[in-house]
Amino acid sequence: MYIFHKDIINKKMTKNPLFLIFLLFFVLSCAQNSNVQTTQDNTPKTEKQRSMENKIKENDFRIPSGSSLLEGEGLLSLGDLLGIEPGESYAVNSILFNVALDKIAFMPLQSVDANSGVIVTDWYSFDGGATRIKINIRVINEEMNEDSLAINLFKQNFEENTWVDKGMDVAQASKIKTSILSTARNLKIASEL
């Protein structure tokens, strides 16, 4: 009975050219997928990705592998949201950018883009969890003056089991800006000696 069943299947397969075309298409599709995966794995990393990986290793940031921070993928980038033109780029080894990144290294990072000069932290709690802050930094130029940095510091307090926005803390943001600029100027002077 098994042999009879096998003969029926073989006759149906050979008589139906649509089945043979489908089988051929399926086999070729599977072969192409393996090539695509190999190509994706062997694609060299961009300068931006290598730079970000080096900064993460240098500063001991804990970002999971395959993170969109490293891949640079997504529908909208932070630059699109902030209105930064794609032509605006900064040196990856910018003194001002590196100092800003170093100053806030104690905070968890949400987004870092050396090419656009943008650093966005995640919320960081202090005062026993009663207050938390979030900092957005943008390096505008390398002149190291007051207009070279834009810093926003957002503050929230924990009240009645919920986080309540307290707006921006302009005074604290100004202190951070002064500290970053002062350190960057000193490093630039030291590097020119």
Domain boundaries, the chain: 2-42, 47-61+76-192
CB atoms within 10 A of CB 71: 13
At 143 the pLDDT is 87
pTM: 0.54
Q: How does pLDDT run across 31-84, given as a tens digit for each residue?
A: 554 444 333 455 666 555 565 566 666 655 555 555 554 455 544 444 444 444
The residues with which 86 forms a beta bridge, in sequence order, are none
- For 113, the token pair is 């883009």
Say which CATH class 47-61+76-192 falls into. Answer: alpha beta
Half-sphere exposure of 165 (CA within 13 A, CB side): 4
Q: How does pLDDT run across 109-130, given as a tens digit for each residue?
A: 999 998 889 999 999 998 888 9
Cα 19 to Cα 7, 24, 96, distances in angstroms: 16, 9, 64
| Helix, strand, coil % in the chain, rounded to nearest 5 | 50, 20, 30
